[in-house]
């Protein structure tokens, strides 16, 4: 079988070699996961919660080992990796704890016409969920699908990104340690894009995809062949709006962290900042001062690490070059040294530039002066992407109003990315950023099918749903409906 290597992006050193699993191996993994799914379903909510908590416990006890691996394979600082793992652990707990109440059987009112029926709904697992993951948050991002699909009663076959296969395998090994009686409830298949494509055609009941919109289209096309439903968590070009009365020091801090944390390789990272004319000069001065303390590197004190995927360096340098050629200016940074990109702030970049239109996925932000917050919102909403975003405003009402009208799945007011730390909130995009939701109640339901049941409690003296219905009954019914619903 062909193999592939995983690298330390800081040094280029090979860390491990993995098999490129093909259609037969992937199908076999799905068959094993289906066998395990029966057992997993039988555990019920209480049993699953116990096993998920055991898994969470392994992650929590070995968090530094996991963070070391994330630092090695993805490149981000150890401290950021800890934060990522903590968020993921929180999501496992939330999903395990809340699945019974949110998904279990629940009575619903049966209404006047069916007053003799007891009506209930419950959310049943789909069976086997295929999860295809990216490399940028190799623990947190797939966990939004893994924990929620598992808590809902599905088994999972997970294809981690080829850039972070070691981390994906580590998560599956942790599962095997926690739940040794059924390791196949969470199985990992390894490989490049072809392995992901094979997973789409391997008989899974749903595919949860996180990655670029371009790959998302291919995944949807492959899944369409067998009418397999998909969840699409794709890229973003998130904007921050800075209003006249915003706390500009806080906004600058958030723009830098939101734009440059994880070397800008964050789907919900800030890539564009729109600042009102009144706030612009002071905001840019804050930004210029604060960005001085940010530095890439692989050492313990570095603010962010190398670019994980070597090919992304070409995209970042193309966007910087295009911004400059089209009239933009570099306020700070702009340089690339090996896999490290300097913290880069670009101003006066036309909206038509690639740096404003396309996902850059590097530690760069464009800062644009606008007339007012309405113009900022108009420009924010003009993107084909619509994942998340941020609003800084001194007024609670104004901040909430702008947040509501922002075309995106998530918005933070007076902070960045805060919604990702709230497990009860749904996470997902609009437009080219995808559809479907992970996290929260919506995220649990994403991996279920609603099952409706009625149970007749007693026979009606005048039944409607029978050929034995009295001929006058529908006329009487029409009169009643006219009285109840036809008055306005
Ligand atoms: P990518 O699209 O290159 O790859 C994602 C995954 O798809 C990988 O595991 C890859 O092997 C697999 N794949 C590639 N070709 C495939 C095919 N034909 N069929 C099936 N699977 C295939 O994305 P990436 O570079 O790993 O991740 C970065 C992207 O992910 C960015 O656009 C980022 O914004 C996005 N992202 C989105 C979210 C979100 O929640 N919305 C979270 C993290 C990252």
Q: Which two tokens stand for residue 78?
A: 């150890």
Tens digit of each residue's pLDDT (9 = 90 or more) over 229-278: 999 999 999 999 999 999 999 999 999 999 999 999 999 999 999 999 99
**Residue nearest (by alpha carbon) to ligand 1 atom 10:** 193
Q: Is the pLDDT of residue 53 over 90?
A: yes
267 is catalytic: yes
Cβ–ligand 1 distance for 305 under 6 Å, the answer no
Q: Which helix (H) or strand (E) holds 355?
A: helix 354-357
Cβ–ligand 1 distance for 138 under 6 Å, the answer no
Does the CA dihedral 44-167-205-38 come out positive or negative? negative
pTM: predicted TM-score of the whole model, two decimal places: 0.96
> For residue 461, what pLDDT is reported?
85
Quick one: pLDDT band at residue 362, thresholds 50, 70, 90? very high
Q: Is the pLDDT of residue 487 over 80?
A: yes
Cβ–ligand 1 distance for 409 under 6 Å, the answer no
Quick one: pLDDT band at residue 300, thresholds 50, 70, 90? confident
Residues in the chain: 488
Quick one: pLDDT band at residue 301, thresholds 50, 70, 90? very high
Q: Say how many Å lie between the CA of residue 266 and the centre of ligand 1.
A: 12
Cβ–ligand 1 distance for 267 under 6 Å, the answer yes
**Are 342 and 302 in contact, with CB atoms under 8 Å apart?**
no
- Average pLDDT value for residue range 348-369: 98
> For residue 51, what pLDDT is reported?
98
Quick one: pLDDT band at residue 13, thresholds 50, 70, 90? very high
- Average pLDDT value for residue range 468-488: 90
- State which of 212, 263, 266 you would mutate to test the pocket of ligand 1, scoring each by most atoms of that ligand within 8 A of its C-beta: 212
User: Residue 389 and residue 415: Cα distance in Å, rounded?
Assistant: 10
> For residue 410, what pLDDT is reported?
98
**Residue nearest (by alpha carbon) to ligand 1 atom 43:** 267
Q: Say how many Å lie between the CA of residue 178 and the centre of ligand 1.
A: 28
Rg over CA atoms, the chain: 25
User: Residue 239 and residue 375: Cα distance in Å, rounded?
Assistant: 13
200 is catalytic: no
Cα–Cα distance list, 440 to 81, 143, 151, 356, 416 (Å): 22, 12, 12, 31, 19
Cβ–ligand 1 distance for 233 under 6 Å, the answer yes
Cα 232 to chain centroid distance, Å, stands at 9
**Residue nearest (by alpha carbon) to ligand 1 atom 41:** 233
Quick one: pLDDT band at residue 372, thresholds 50, 70, 90? very high
- Average pLDDT value for residue range 133-158: 98
> Whose CA is closest to 456, among 121, 116, 122, 120?
116
Q: Is the pLDDT of residue 350 over 90?
A: yes
Q: Which two tokens stand for residue 45?
A: 């909510």
**Are 332 and 345 in contact, with CB atoms under 8 Å apart?**
yes
- Average pLDDT value for residue range 132-161: 98
Q: Is the pLDDT of residue 427 over 90?
A: yes
Q: How many CA atoms lie within 13 A of 303 on its CB side?
A: 20
> For residue 50, what pLDDT is reported?
98
Quick one: pLDDT band at residue 227, thresholds 50, 70, 90? very high
Strands in 117-125's sheet, in edge-to-edge order, are 106-108, 117-125, 448-456
> For residue 113, what pLDDT is reported?
87
Q: Which helix (H) or strand (E) holds 299?
A: none
Cβ–ligand 1 distance for 236 under 6 Å, the answer yes
- Average pLDDT value for residue range 90-111: 98
Q: Say how many Å lie between the CA of residue 144 and the centre of ligand 1.
A: 14
Cβ–ligand 1 distance for 387 under 6 Å, the answer yes
Contacts of 375 (CB under 8 A, 6+ apart): 274
- Average pLDDT value for residue range 290-302: 95
- Average pLDDT value for residue range 442-446: 98
> For residue 409, what pLDDT is reported?
98
Q: Is the pLDDT of residue 112 over 90?
A: no
User: Residue 324 and residue 342: Cα distance in Å, rounded?
Assistant: 16
> For residue 464, what pLDDT is reported?
87
- The pLDDT > 70 percentage for the chain reads 100
Cβ–ligand 1 distance for 197 under 6 Å, the answer yes
Cβ–ligand 1 distance for 201 under 6 Å, the answer no
Q: Is the pLDDT of residue 488 over 80?
A: no
Q: Say how many Å lie between the CA of residue 36 and the centre of ligand 1.
A: 27
Catalytic site residue from 84, 233, 271, 286:
233
- Average pLDDT value for residue range 428-456: 98
The H-assigned helical ranges of 201-348 are 213-224, 248-260, 277-290, 312-325
> Packing angle between helix 23-42 and helix 44-61, nearest 10 degrees?
120
Q: Say how many Å lie between the CA of residue 435 and the centre of ligand 1.
A: 14
Atom of ligand 1 nearest to the CA of 200: 20
User: Residue 210 and residue 207: Cα distance in Å, rounded?
Assistant: 10
- Average pLDDT value for residue range 168-184: 97
Catalytic site residue from 200, 223, 234, 267:
267
């Amino acid at each position: 079988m062909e193999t592939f290597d995983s690298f330390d992006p800081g040094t280029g050193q090979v860390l491990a070699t993995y098999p490129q699993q093909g259609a037969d191996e992937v199908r076999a993994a799905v068959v094993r996961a289906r066998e395990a799914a029966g057992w997993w379903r039988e555990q019920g909510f209480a049993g699953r919660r116990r096993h998920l908590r055991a898994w969470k416990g392994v992650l929590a006890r070995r968090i530094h080992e996991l963070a070391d691996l994330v630092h090695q394979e993805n490149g981000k600082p150890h401290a950021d990796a800890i934060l990522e793992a903590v968020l993921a652990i929180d999501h496992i707990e939330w999903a395990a704890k809340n699945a019974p109440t949110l998904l279990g059987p629940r009575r619903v009112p049966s209404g006047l016409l069916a007053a003799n029926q007891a009506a209930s709904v419950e959310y049943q697992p789909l069976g086997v969920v295929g999860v295809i993951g990216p490399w940028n948050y190799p623990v947190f991002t797939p966990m939004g699908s893994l924990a929620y699909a598992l808590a809902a009663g599905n088994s999972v076959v997970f294809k981690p990104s080829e850039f972070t296969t070691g981390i994906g395998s580590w998560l599956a090994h942790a599962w095997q340690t926690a739940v040794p009686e059924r390791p196949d409830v969470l199985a990992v298949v390894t490989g490049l894009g072809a392995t992901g494509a094979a997973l789409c055609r391997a008989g899974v009941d749903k595919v949860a995809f996180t990655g670029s919109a371009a790959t998302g289209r291919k995944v949807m096309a492959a899944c369409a062949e067998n009418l397999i439903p998909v969840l699409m968590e794709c890229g973003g070009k998130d904007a921050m709006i800075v209003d006249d009365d915003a706390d500009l020091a806080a906004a600058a801090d958030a723009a830098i962290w939101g734009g440059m944390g994880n070397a800008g390789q964050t789907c919900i990272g800030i890539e564009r900042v729109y600042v009102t004319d009144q706030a612009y000069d002071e905001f840019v001065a804050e930004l210029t001062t604060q960005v001085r303390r940010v530095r890439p590197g692989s050492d313990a004190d570095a603010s962010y690490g190398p670019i994980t995927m070597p090919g992304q360096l070409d995209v970042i340098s193309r966007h910087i070059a295009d911004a400059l050629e089209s009239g933009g200016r570099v306020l700070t940074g702009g340089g690339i040294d090996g896999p490290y990109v300097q913290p880069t702030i670009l101003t006066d970049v036309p909206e038509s530039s690639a740096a404003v239109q396309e996902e850059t996925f590097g530690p760069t932000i464009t800062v644009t002066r606008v007339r007012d917050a309405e113009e900022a919102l108009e420009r924010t909403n003009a993107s084909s992407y619509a994942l998340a975003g941020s609003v800084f405003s001194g007024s609670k009402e104004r901040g909430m109003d702008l947040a509501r009208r922002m075309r995106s799945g998530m918005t933070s007011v007076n902070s960045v990315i805060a919604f990702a730390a709230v497990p009860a909130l749904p996470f997902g995009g609009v437009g080219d950023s995808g559809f479907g939701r992970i996290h929260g109640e919506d995220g649990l339901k994403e991996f279920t099918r609603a099952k409706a049941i009625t149970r007749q409690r007693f026979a009606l003296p005048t039944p409607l749903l029978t050929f034995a219905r009295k001929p006058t009954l529908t006329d009487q019914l029409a009169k009643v409906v006219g009285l109840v619903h036809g008055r306005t």
